[in-house]
Structure 1
Amino acid sequence: MGKESVVKRLLSLAAAVSFALAMVWKLWGMTLVSTFYYNGLRLNIYATKVTGDLSELNILNHYIGMMNIDNSLPEFRWIPWVMALLIALCIGMAIRPTQKVLMTGTILVLIGLGIMGGDFYYRLYQYGHIFTPDAAIKVPGFTPKIMGQYTLANFKVTTGFGFGGLMAMLGVILLLYSVFYRSER
């Protein structure tokens, strides 16, 4: 077994570990700060659940007619399976680190993550555009940023990736590096 093969195996295994960490750590979060909530209201998205100040956020969302935020979303049932598949793909790439296997596996991982990311963005759009018509306060539709700061009504909103989201990105970087890695000969 040559140096190149060993490095590619280790990179694939490290990617599997990164995706496993992404399964248990926060993927994305949002903090809303205003004069009434100077400590901020938090929303944390994991692969299997949403946590944070959900009851307070849902009370505020009720006034603008937004859907409740809870753990009943179907994504919390299928995303863990997709993540487990990504981990299994990485382990398979470590077992057989040929260029064809690495390229195919990395493309499949990117497709899986792309589907999850697209679904996440669609949900953000949905929550910011579908309001009940009898809401007490009318707001124009909005889509929360994936990452950054903005103002929404009287709230300063900060959004960004959590450690789990960063680990998923690291997993992709490791896989891409394994595909393009060439040992010096």
Structure 2
Amino acid sequence: MLNMEPIVVLSGRAGVGKTSVAAELVARMPALHAQTSAMILKIRPNSIRTRIGLQEAGNSLDVETDFSWIARETLDVIRENPHHPIIVDAVRVPRQVSKIRTAIPTHVIHIHLTASRPKIIARFMARKRIIDDGLAYETIEVDDSEKWNTELAAISDLVVDTDYRSPSETAATVIDFTKR
């Protein structure tokens, strides 16, 4: 039942480049892209499909499931695709990582992406996502799910500064790390 392929779990602030790096990893490895926003909508199809609505739904799921909902959904992906690497995009709280590592005790690689606040804000403002429509970065960064980045970096297997790396370069670094 256990997937012997890597399960790459991404974390980092909104706008740091997690989804762009995940897309590169999916193309290069090739791997399956397990997006937590899609997991939320699978569990709660009536969630409001905005950044704030999804953050609130994820925070609520954390409380209701003792942070295990991402681990459970990732296990479902493994059951359906037992021989594929999986990119989990993304965790926001250290206990989510802990629950994934407990549920999938082998081959979980936690990658934390970081960048300077000015770079993150510039990326956030440049991207065109419907869920972010009309939001200022300052509105997003005050959510409880955004406050854990120092702790997530501390428990990660690898921290990658994306300030001066493209998603492609970051993905190459991650792939090299997964082969160790």
| TM-score, normalising length: structure 1 | 0.24
Structure with the greater alpha carbon radius of gyration: 1
